[in-house]
A and B are shown apart, each in its own frame.
Chain A
Amino acid sequence: MSNSIADKKPGDVSILLCGQAGQGIQTVEHLLMRILKSSGYCLFTGKEYMSRVRGGMNSTSIRISGSPVSAPSNRIDILVPLDKGGVSHVSCMLTSNTVVIGEKDSCGGEIPNGVALLDVPFSKIAAETGNKVYSNTVAVGALLFLLGLELEPNLHHIGEFFSGKPDDVVKKNLEAAGKGYASLAGTGTARLQMEFKSSPDVKEQLLLSGAEAVSLGALAGGCNFISSYPMSPSTGVLSFLAQHGSEFGIVVEQAEDEIAAINMAIGAWYAGARAMVTTSGGGFALMTEGLSLAGMLESPLVIHLAQRPGPATGLPTRTEQGDLEFALYGGHGEFPRIIFAPGTLEEGFTLAHRAFSVADKYQVPVIILTDQFFMDSCCNTPVFKLDDVDREKHFTGTSAGYRRYEMAANGISPRGIPGLGDGLVCVDSDEHDQEGHITENSVMRTMMVDKRLKKLESSMDDFIPPRLFETGSSNNLIVCWGSALSAVREAVEILGRDDTAVLHFSQVFPLDAALVREHFSKAEKTILVEGNATGQFGRILKGCTGVDFHGRILRYNGLSFASDELAAKINSCLQEGK
């Protein structure tokens, strides 16, 4: 039986931290991430947690690699149970290759047969240092040893992490880390030989979450007004902008409900602000009335919709790609909208600032569709660039006789704002004439509907084509959208098949039908991968372009795709019918 960590030769190392909410998983995660990044390793962390403030088992998976990783893996090389119940929470994922590092007294009874336990009495060592609260830092010390890292050069990260605390607390934490390290160093315990190289480039990269990437993108897009109602998993964007509100001059308002939030955002755009709302499915349901208003007023609007599993309250803290069709069809009446769905942190940033620019340019609502997995996952990514941010504002001053809904060939009437010029800016949720006054004239009605819908066509000037990832000439095409990208790409890499390409859509609506058909015409076998139960994007693709799939891999259990599990599914899908 292999139970020594030194026997492993993995291409990456996967650590799972498991414990109760509020029990320091974040401390361990944060310290490890800082230390590993400064050592030049590529990193990924993903979270799954229960819907409660404290207690309940939560886990954070950390992957360490020599090349970029941005999806979770179901393989656990090292499990760190920080509380009783931590091993049981993930016992079905443990194998004989897993090493559990933890306290025998606390978790010994939960270890399945064939799984090795490396007994480190975290809390006893912490108590000896002065207080049980230091046990997280003891665990960090022990993990540093196990991962083959030096203690001394990394102690300053621990010092910096606790720098706001009293000197004594900082000192005790440093001591605790040292004791954790020493508890294994002296015992002849084998250390992990990381087979992969670290890279100095990683040290210069960013390490952040999807919520942070989208928030920074919103700032780059000139967002200066956010009105929202807190709802997991979308709240990270609201709190980020609130924390940086005074730095960037953002009006931040926690509205009484999502209805107020979206109506405020539309009012703010009307007055010349760049406004956004952030919400999840249930909140978006309340916003659909306002979304329709934006359609009628021809107001720009940015909606960040972070999906979680529904219907109704669903699984509040877990993940799904189940609201795509809702985002596309939500809101009464027919009006254009654009939907983005980032697959990488870089896209999270880029699409967020583009959302403001295209919303402004085409006077349409733009929805940025993410999910809990995307919001809460962290990895290293190249530094975001500000050079290609479109900084143009698209409103104009007006003169007397200005008409807000002046007919235009591309559907886009110059957008005035009140108080800027001698014209009057009149907008109406009723069908209206070119001045913005209420009308029931059927000819005018038809002209206005056509004008509004024309903007969708015009927006194709800024269409973001799907990205094709392929290594050779591909017979197979795996199609995905939004946050599924990372797991799909890694799954195909795991399979090592150069006959299989990945086609990822970060603009999921509107679509370029000819381009989609062209990609499909080259593929013998097409497989759809989506995080929902009914294959929503597949349905939209078929409706818009006529293409169909040979196989579908759908996940809707509340958890994100894991690359290794997905690889096996793709493989069996590709085998079928051969």
Chain B
Amino acid sequence: MNRFDMELSDIAWCPGCGNYGILNVLKKTLDELGIQPEKMVLVSGIGQAAKIPHYFRTNFFNGLHGRALPPATAIKASNPSLTVIAESGDGDMYGEGGNHFIHTIRRNPGITNIVHNNMVYGLTKGQASPTSQAGFKTPIQVGGVFLEPFNPIAVALALDATFVARAFIGDQDRTREIFKKALMHKGYALVDVFQPCFTFNKINTFQWFREHTYYLDDTHDVHNRNQAFQKAVETDKLPLGVFYENTGRKTFEENIQETGKAVLPLHSQETDYGKLKDLILKFK
């Protein structure tokens, strides 16, 4: 038991789903980092992964499909003292929310973006997701997917995301290590988490992920973007671990505080009516 646990009666996930592992690991990591449920916000979109806030004792904003990142950015900008996690599935973050994914990385808000990547759409019953492997057959892609899968790691690196990592929930300990690093990172942190879908993806199973992944070792320099990019485009075996970290960029909140002179948190800001009166009178 930890402080993020809550009484659960009705969980919408299938038995054996990788989501359970992510839920447990995230709670454990937050607990270990000493983060209080009242001082964090879990923001999600729509889909099975996006239901995670309902099994989590914390503040949450369960918004629209594909739209977790814009409110997460705004919440962090409005009150930087909050720990903000934006969490959803691959369809939500990379498909419906693809444009927000790109521009959130450019903004570099201090949020942790956890993406449950099971390479299939679960809630809508088994269609291809942006990360489905070529050849994957579904009720819609009846002849098999012929698009190349979306590579979130490479896209994030191309945009100079300040923290880029991939985890596999089949290994909870190492996933926890990666989550911890992501949560402690100052700017935007992407953790793409491989997570099998028992019901709709019979190809990319726990076994498949074990056979098709390996961990980046100590020889990988996380500050070398080119090396990270080389690793990101490997497809024979998919690397796991932290690909890249850049601590030199200002966060969105830092930038807006500097240029906007906003008093944060915004909820405690008071309008300067004296100044406003002067501004109005300038139109005389």
Contacts and interface: CB of A to CB of B under 8 A. Distances in A.
B62 A247 contact: no
Interface of A: 203-208, 212, 216, 219-220, 222, 224-225, 227, 244-253, 255-257, 259-261, 263-268, 270-275, 289-290, 293, 297, 383-384, 386, 389, 391, 393, 395, 417-430, 436-438
B78 A425 contact: no
Contacts of A420: 267
Contact of A204 (B58, B75, B271, B284): B284
Given A383-B280, A424-B38, A438-B51, A273 B273 contact: no
B284 A391 contact: no
A384 B260 contact: no
B23 to A, nearest CB: 15
A249 B269 contact: yes
18 contacts: A207-B283, A219-B276, A224-B271, A225-B74, A246-B261, A249-B260, A250-B260, A251-B260, A251-B262, A272-B266, A273-B78, A273-B267, A386-B276, A393-B267, A418-B82, A426-B62, A427-B62, A429-B62
Contact of B59 (A227, A259, A426, A430): A426
Nearest to A274: B266
B232 interface: no
A199 to B, nearest CB: 15
A427 B275 contact: no
Given A251-B78, A260-B99, A426-B60, 13 more contacts: A207-B284, A248-B271, A248-B272, A259-B67, A259-B100, A260-B69, A264-B74, A289-B64, A420-B267, A426-B62, A427-B60, A428-B54, A438-B51
A425 B23 CA distance: 19
Best-buried of B59, B277, B279 by chain A (most CB within 10 Å): B59
Contacts of B64: 263, 289-290, 293, 429
Contacts of B284: 203-207, 383
B46 interface: yes
Nearest to B96: A259
Contacts of B51: 438
B279 A216 contact: yes
Interface string B32-70: 000001111101001000010110011111111001011
Best-buried of B43, B62, B277 by chain A (most CB within 10 Å): B62
A247 B266 CA distance: 15
A212 B279 CA distance: 11
Contacts of A273: 74, 78, 266-267
B14 interface: no
Best-buried of B82, B263, B265, B280 by chain A (most CB within 10 Å): B280
B259 interface: yes
A-B pairs, 8 with minimum CB distance: A272-B267, A267-B71, A267-B74, A271-B78, A263-B70, A273-B266, A418-B59, A256-B103
A220 B272 CA distance: 9
Contacts of A425: 59
Contact of A263 (B40, B71, B81): B71
Nearest to A275: B74
A458 to B, nearest CB: 24
A206 B283 contact: yes
Given A391-B271, A420-B267, A427 B61 contact: yes
A interface, over-half SS? mixed
A375 to B, nearest CB: 16
A256 B60 contact: no
Nearest to A219: B276
Contacts of B69: 260
Given A260-B103, A289-B64, A249 B261 contact: yes
Contact of B77 (A244, A260, A268, A424): A268
Given A219-B276, A248-B275, A271-B82, A438 B267 contact: no
Best-buried of A227, A248, A438 by chain B (most CB within 10 Å): A248
A246 B75 contact: no
Given A206-B280, A225-B74, A293-B64, A422 B38 contact: yes
Interface in B231-284: 256, 259-263, 265-269, 271-273, 275-277, 279-281, 283-284
A557 B77 CA distance: 43
B81 to A, nearest CB: 6
A263 B77 contact: no
B24 interface: no
Contacts of A271: 41, 74-75, 78-79, 82, 265-267
Contacts of B12: 438
Nearest to B60: A426
Contact of B267 (A248, A249, A250, A417): A417
Contacts of B38: 418-419, 421-424
B203 interface: no
B55 to A, nearest CB: 10
Contact of B74 (A204, A206, A257, A268): A268
B102 interface: yes
Contacts of A386: 273, 276-277, 280
B73 interface: yes
Nearest to A417: B267
Nearest to A293: B64
B72 interface: yes
B260 A245 contact: yes
A264 B70 contact: yes
A219 B271 contact: yes
A272 B79 contact: yes
A113 B34 CA distance: 85
Given A267-B72, A268-B77, A429-B63, A419 B39 contact: yes
Nearest to A272: B267
Best-buried of B60, B63, B99, B277 by chain A (most CB within 10 Å): B63
Nearest to A432: B62
Contact of A290 (B39, B57, B67, B271): B67
A251 B79 contact: no
